Amino acid sequence: MTATQSSSEAFEYKPVALNERITSDGSSRWPVEAGRYRLVVARACPWANRSVIVRRLLGLEPALSMGLAGPLHDERSWRFHLDPDNRDPVLGIEYLGEAYRKADPGFDAGITVPAVVEIATGKVVTNGFQQLTLDFSTQWTALHRDGAPDLYPVEHRAEIDEINQAVYEDVNIGVYKCGFTNSQEAYEQAYRALFARLDALSERLATQRFLVGDTITEADIRLWVTLVRFDAVYHGHFKCNRQKLTEMPVLWAYARDLFQTPGFGDTIDFEQIKQHYYGVHTDINPTRVVPLGPDVRNWLTPHGREALGGRPFGDGTPPGPPPEGERVPPIS
């Protein structure tokens, strides 16, 4: 996605530019195929984090390799500066923008993660982050691991979609609306919408362990990737400072519950998250000084949410540990 300022100085997002789909039903020119594609993400990005979590929970690692862009980038796009020789070892590129321009030599829109790249051609197939994880659940089923959970159950899809839309507008991009606007009025409007939505979600989650039904769904994943970054970056960096997550008891317990669930906390690198937001958003943080806090050891404290019941993976099972090359530093 690409951030823009409108004439009213309110923050907006432009839609993604390469919004094709990879399907198993012949509805697109890109078929689901093991080993054909590479998912490019960054640990820092919440939109990319969603795809990492769903890929983990469904066990798609053997079928869909993953490239990791580093937390820092410049006007040339996300860069593979954590890899040897500063290049993705599979795609052989230094900047993700190279794969976008292979798909479209005149590409001049936002170069975003997640992006799925066809390995043989080096071309980006899609950066359609909203549909991508749903397709992982519904189109990639033949490649799911045994025991993969159903993250988008048919009987709950309408409710999941409704919650996802509200969370997207008020929370996922709500924090960005607070952080990037140049207008006091727009900031205050986004701030109030954000915390009104968080209050409503807190009330909902006070009596049920997960957002929809009694299992983890796509709705939980989409909310959680914002919550896990809240105190580290959004509270201060984006002026979302009515309360910290740790001061919202229900949401804090809910977020810790998921953090301690395989497939969630084991995708998070708090240092890369802070390096990205404080090091790249120079309009907001011109010094590029990265804060040392907060202390994140409290993410491992007991949450007590088991008392609400629920079955995190439904009839499925937890995923195994991440592949060796995809592990994040443990909290210490």
Identify the band that residue 74 occupies on the pLDDT scale cut at 50, 70 and 90. confident
> How do residues 30-55 score in pLDDT, each as one tens digit?
999 999 999 999 999 999 999 999 99
Q: Indicate whether 4 pLDDT > 80.
A: no
Of the chain, the percentage scoring pLDDT greater than 70 comes to: 95
> So which residues are the catalytic ones?
45, 176
| pLDDT value, residue 10 | 67
Averaged pLDDT, 158-182 = 97
> What tokens appear for 172 in the block?
């996922």
CATH for 155-326? Answer: 1.20.1050.10
Beta-carbon contacts of residue 291 (< 8 Å; ≥ 6 apart): 236, 274, 278
Q: Which residue has the higher pLDDT, 253 or 15?
A: 253
Helix (H, G, I), strand (E, B) or coil at 67: strand
> What average pLDDT does range 322-331 have in this prediction?
94
Tens of pLDDT, residue by residue over 197-232, are: 999 999 999 999 999 999 999 999 999 999 999 999
73 pLDDT above the threshold of 50: yes
Distance CA 35, CA 29 (A): 17
Which of 255, 266, 276 is closest to 78 using CA atoms?
276
Q: What is the pLDDT of residue 108?
A: 85
pLDDT band at 13 (very low <50, low <70, confident <90, very high): low
Residue 101 pLDDT class (50, 70, 90 cuts): very high
| Superfamily of domain covering 2-143 | Glutaredoxin (3.40.30.10)
Res 15: pLDDT: 60
Q: Which of 248, 229, 243 is nearest to 296 (CA)?
A: 229
Structural domain boundaries in the chain: 2-143, 155-326
pLDDT score recorded for residue 146 = 98
What is the C-alpha separation between 87 and 150, in angstroms, rounded? 35
Q: What is the mean pLDDT of the chain?
A: 94
Q: Is 174 in contact with 230 (CB distance < 8 Å)?
A: no
Q: How confident is the model at residue 16 (pLDDT cuts 50, 70, 90)?
A: low
Name the β-bridge partners of 19. Answer: 126
Q: Whole-model pTM?
A: 0.95
pLDDT of residue 12: 64
